[in-house]
Amino acid sequence: MDVDAKGAQSGSDAVVARIAARQHGVIRLDQLELAGIRRQGRIVRVKAGRLHRVHRGVYAVGHAGLSREGQRLAAVFACGPDAVLSHGSAAALWDLLPSPSLVHVTVPTRAGRRRRSGLRIHRTTTLLRSHVTRRHAIPVTNPSRTLADLRRTVPRKRFERARRQAEFLKLPIDPVLEPDGTRSDFEALFLAFCRRRRLPRPEVNVRIGAYLVDFAWPGRRLVVEVDGFESHGTRSAFEADRERDAELKLLGYDVVRITWRRLDRAPAEVAATLRALLRDRA
């Protein structure tokens, strides 16, 4: 190799080192090419142990021992220019929860590859620019969007733990992420179901007459009770529920009872039934 070629190689490596230093030790394929390192140059550097492939099109520079932040940024780079860290991984970056085993990344499209090793890819069309920020130089969903994603995807207790931690850290969070008034995981799941199916938001654990009902649309005179077998599977509970339904009927309310099994196996039918009842009682 002549002196000029060696100088060019040294200059390219210096550019790569500067870029990687700003990116937790990782670099993208397009950045390597902009630095003057093409395919053959990548092969030489991989064989020499100066580049280490982390994901397709993403390399660690100098050594393969990436920090946690380097692993997260490499995952984001692997999923495209608009990808962001999200869900449990975003919660970990915001110090809300421990880091999950897989790196969670959201991509603002429904198209594309579904699986990558070590990654959990979420695809959505509702990720807005206002939902995205940077923390430690990593594109990430902001605290409100992170909590909204967690509310839909993790058990209620885990979401509540993350929300309380966000409040303790004084992170900016949307008021709709304040406690929702539910008393059980099933109630929280039903409220999330109403949001996903675009049903009008019901009042939660509201008193009607002598009874505290799970959900109600008072203006439509409609009540929903979510029935878990643990609390409603005995003969005495069955009788008490029927007495309660009759009393609510006398007060002008229709009562719909929804089991976890039905909500899980026939969500479209449950949504259609509720939508029809709400429409008819408008």
Residues 167 and 189 in one domain: no
**CATH code of 201's domain:** 3.40.960.10
Q: Total domain count for the chain?
A: 3
Q: Which of 176, 207, 240 is the last residue of a domain?
A: 176
Residues 144 and 239 in one domain: no
Residues 74 and 29 in one domain: no
- Tokens representing residue 182 in the block: 């539910």
What pLDDT, on the 0 to 100 scale, is given for residue 234? 58
Residues 256 and 189 in one domain: yes
Residues 24 and 77 in one domain: no
Residues 157 and 190 in one domain: no
Q: Which of 176, 202, 220 is the last residue of a domain?
A: 176
Residues 57 and 149 in one domain: no
What pLDDT, on the 0 to 100 scale, is given for residue 177? 65
**Cβ-based neighbour number of residue 176 at 10 Å:** 12
Residues 96 and 138 in one domain: yes
Adjacency order of strands within the sheet including 132-135? 119-123, 103-107, 84-85, 138-141, 132-135
C-alpha span between 282 and 276 (Å, rounded): 10
Residues 134 and 86 in one domain: yes
Q: Which of 61, 78, 109 is the last residue of a domain?
A: 61
Residues 52 and 115 in one domain: no
Give the range of the structural domain holding residue 56, as residue numbers without chain letter. 3-61
Per-residue pLDDT of the chain (282 residues; tens, 9 = 90+): 443 445 456 789 999 999 999 999 999 999 999 999 999 999 999 999 999 999 999 999 999 899 999 999 999 999 999 999 999 999 999 999 999 999 999 999 877 666 778 899 999 888 888 899 999 999 999 999 999 899 888 888 899 899 889 988 999 887 666 666 667 667 877 888 898 899 999 999 899 999 999 999 999 999 999 976 444 455 666 778 889 999 999 999 999 999 988 988 899 999 999 999 999 987
Total residues belonging to the chain: 282
Residues 74 and 164 in one domain: yes
Residues 201 and 263 in one domain: yes
